[in-house]
Structure formats: structure tokens, C-alpha cells
Amino acid sequence: MTVVSPVVRTVRPGDPGWDEARAAFNAGVDQRPHHVAEPADAAGVAEVVRAAAAAGLRVVAQRTGHGAAALGDLRDTVLVRNSALRDVRIDVAARRARIGAGARWGDVVAPAASAGLLAPHGSSAGIGVAGYALHGGVGWYVRAHGLAAHAIVAAELVTGDGTRVRVDAGREPELLWALRGGGGPGIVTELELELRPAGPLYGGVAFFPIERAAEVLHAWRDWAALAPEHITSIGRLLRLPDRPHVPAHLRGRAFALVEAVALAPPDAAEWALAPLRALKPEIDTFGPLAPTDVPALHMDPAHPVPFRRGDALLARLPAAALDALLAVAGPDRAPPLPSIELRHVAGAATRSPDAPAALAALAGPFAMTATGMLGGPVGPDEVAAALDELTGALAPFTAPARVPTFAEARPGAAGLFDAATLARLAAVRRRVDPDGVIAASHEVPLP
């Protein structure tokens, strides 16, 4: 480790701690950047960008490395770890949070809840706020409150020449538009997000043996079509490993799940969820929740794992789409995909947001994501083939767009946005980073 200035530490190949410094949450990605820079503050980020540009290097921001699979060769790129920038300041009256770009959702949910507010977090407290919000962000309140990207009201960022810029609707409307789902044309050092008032919450998970997958997922689909927008739910196939970290009663078993969170008091939520619970799940964890309970509900891994994700945004989910999914991933098949999820997103996220956003309304009511684990007995080619088979089976129902946060295995921005949006994002990038110093997981090509 070297301290190159009062506001930046660097770790280079061969330095003690090099492997820890370059490691990504996606442990299947062996990223080897030119070096790792750990700025202490926003001025440090600007310093890193200027030094990299002067040395002919590129720069990429990374908090967790959830999205590491979409980055290419990093040999000539400085990996900026902004973990030190994790201040969270909440303005209760304005219902806004100023969040350092190194914060993860676990840093935000509790202080927001103490202020009586809900943050637009996703399915794990470990996700970085910046990478998630800049690329969409489908969370537990997505049907009622929309995408996390649409909660971005202002930001501080560093441009490709190391200039620090304040972005808001008055000063930099086009840049704000780009940040709302289009990724980072610069390196963001702080985001300002709109929070929502926290009322009563109710939710949980219903576990059914996977042999009931067809009955349960079809019943969930029928129920979801009429479910009020204050309920966000997920239909899921979950195959758990026979490992000590899995609770004994779940170890080595496969389930069809329905997970749901309702922004409602217990009586209203129980009434709305009754048709699902009438299916008599083997395990039913539904009950009142505190906002701080919600990030753990989906049971995502808290520690780095080697994985590959597949994704699709579904333009519709007819019964035939579920049948197609079950034909390749149901109880009669055992694909090497521990988790296959259908997230119900219809509602605020599928309508145009109040303020303009690069990622506007999602083009479909359900988002599918599937995860395969690498490094185990099943080889990466077999995992990739299973993901391809699944997305292929759903292809007739797939929208010509994706949710960028779920497109973790896809480098670049092609396929995430339509041609007009890509051209507009490219024009923003040309202004902010004409020399292409800033790299990104879903990089927009310079025009």
C-alpha cells in the first residue's frame, strides 16, 4: 500500500493486500486492474482521475464488484474503491438523503427508518447504492414507488478531466437525465435520493416443495395480475445446497417460493395475501416487518460468491411463459441454477417517471433473473448453457429491452436502451468525458 497524497492510498500488484484490494463480490471474476486507488473523499477521486488521465490510464468506480463480470480487461484501468465515501445525511423535512457513493444499502436503510422514511433498496443490504441506483434498481417497493434511478434528484460527480460538478435539475438537467438509469458518465461521489414515508410493512416468504412449482407459480401469476400496487412479489425456484451455512431444515432441498412485501397494515395485507397462503405452504414466514427486516427477506448471500447471471425483461407473462420456464427448470429438470426469479414490477416502474430519465418506463411487467454458481462441480460452460436454455425458452415473451442492474454479465450499453436514448447518452458522455477516461460496466460508446 502506498499513500500517494493525503487523500489517496494506492495498492499495486505485488503490494501486501493486493488480492483483497482487487477482489470483487462476484468471486468468479479475476479482475487485474493497473492498480487500485482508495480515495478518502471526493477531492481524492478527482485527483485519481487527473493522475490516471495524465498517465494515459482509464478509471472505473467499483464499490462491491457485484457488476464486475461486465467489465473488460482492466490492465490499463485504475480501479477506484470509493468505500471511504459513505456518509449518509438525511433531511427529514425534505425527505431526501445525501449518500456517499461508497455506501451500501445497509448503511442507508436503518438511518432512513429511524427518520420514519423508506429507502429504495434492493434484495440485499450489501448492494452498492451507486451502481444499483445509476442502473435502475428494482427493489421491494418498486411497484408502488418505482425504480431507484427515478429517486435520484441530484448528484456530485467527477468528469473525465477531474472536474467536480454538482448535478441537479436546475444546473445540469441533461446530466441528471443520464444518471437516472443511464449509468455513470463520470465518477459519482454523492447521490441525493428522494425517500418515501414509512408506514406499516408486512411480508415474508411462502416455501412450497418444488414438486408443486407449476401449481404455485400459476396461482401466483393469476393472483399477481390483480394484486394491488402496494404489494411487490417474486415467484421463485430456489435450490439450496447441502452445506452447513444453510439452515438444517432447508439444506439440500428445492422449493417453489412466493416472496412478497406489502406497504400495508397487517389486516389489509393478510386479506390481499390470503389466496397465496390458502395454498398451504410448507413454511410461511409472513408477518409484520420493520424496514430494516426487508433487505434480508430474499436470503441473498452476504459474502462474495462466484456467479453468473442471466436476465430477461418479460413483455408479458402468459401461462405459456410459465410452462416454458418450468419445462427447462422445473422439478423434472435440475439445471445448475440455484435461483430463478420472476419479479413483478408492473406499476410505477412501468409508467413514465415524473422527471425525465434515461431509463424510462420498464417495457414489461415481470423481470426474470437467474443465477448459476461457478467454481463448484458444475463447469462454467454448463452454467452458461443452462442460462441460455432458460432465456431461450422465454424469448417469445421477452421485451426488446432489459433492466440494466440485472444485466450484470453483459458488457456495454447495447440492448439496454433504444437507439435514440443511446445517442443521447453518447452526447452526454462526449461532453463529460470526451477522451473516454471513465470506464463503466455498461459503457456507452463515444460518438
Ligand X SMILES: Cc1cc2nc3c(=O)[nH]c(=O)nc-3n(C[C@H](O)[C@H](O)[C@H](O)COP(=O)(O)OP(=O)(O)OC[C@H]3O[C@@H](n4cnc5c(N)ncnc54)[C@H](O)[C@@H]3O)c2cc1C
Q: Which residues bind ligand X (CB under 6 A)?
A: 25, 60-68, 71, 82, 101, 122-124, 127-128, 130-132, 134-139, 184, 187-188, 300, 405-406, 408, 440-441
Contacts of 198 (CB under 8 A, 6+ apart): 112, 113, 116, 117, 118, 291
Taking the least distance from each CB to ligand X, the nearer of 81 and 230 is: 81
185/149 Cα distance (integer angstroms): 14
- Cα 311 to Cα 74, 230, 429: the distances in Å are 25, 25, 26
Q: Which residue in the block uniquely carries the three cell numbers 416472496?
A: 259
Taking the least distance from each CB to ligand X, the nearer of 47 and 408 is: 408
Q: Which three cell numbers stand for residue 89?
A: 445525511
Task: Please report how close the Cβ of residue 437 comes to ligand X at its closest, in angstroms.
Answer: 12
Taking the least distance from each CB to ligand X, the nearer of 68 and 393 is: 68
Taking the least distance from each CB to ligand X, the nearer of 258 and 326 is: 258
Taking the least distance from each CB to ligand X, the nearer of 33 and 330 is: 33
Task: Please report how close the Cβ of residue 114 comes to ligand X at its closest, in angstroms.
Answer: 23
Q: Which three cell numbers stand for residue 83?
A: 468505500
418/420 Cα distance (integer angstroms): 6
Task: Please report how close the Cβ of residue 264 comes to ligand X at its closest, in angstroms.
Answer: 21
Task: Please report how close the Cβ of residue 47 comes to ligand X at its closest, in angstroms.
Answer: 15
Task: Please report how close the Cβ of residue 142 comes to ligand X at its closest, in angstroms.
Answer: 8
Angle value at C-alpha 349, between 169 and 217, nearest 5 degrees:
165
Taking the least distance from each CB to ligand X, the nearer of 233 and 330 is: 233
Fill in the amino acid letter for 31.
Q
Residue-wise burial string across 129-146, b where 16 or more C-beta atoms lie within 10 A, e elsewhere: bbbbbbbbbbbbbbbbbb
Task: Please report how close the Cβ of residue 211 comes to ligand X at its closest, in angstroms.
Answer: 27
In the β-sheet with 152-158, what is the strand arrangement from edge to edge?
88-91, 96-100, 187-194, 152-158, 164-168
Task: Please report how close the Cβ of residue 93 comes to ligand X at its closest, in angstroms.
Answer: 27
Taking the least distance from each CB to ligand X, the nearer of 27 and 250 is: 27
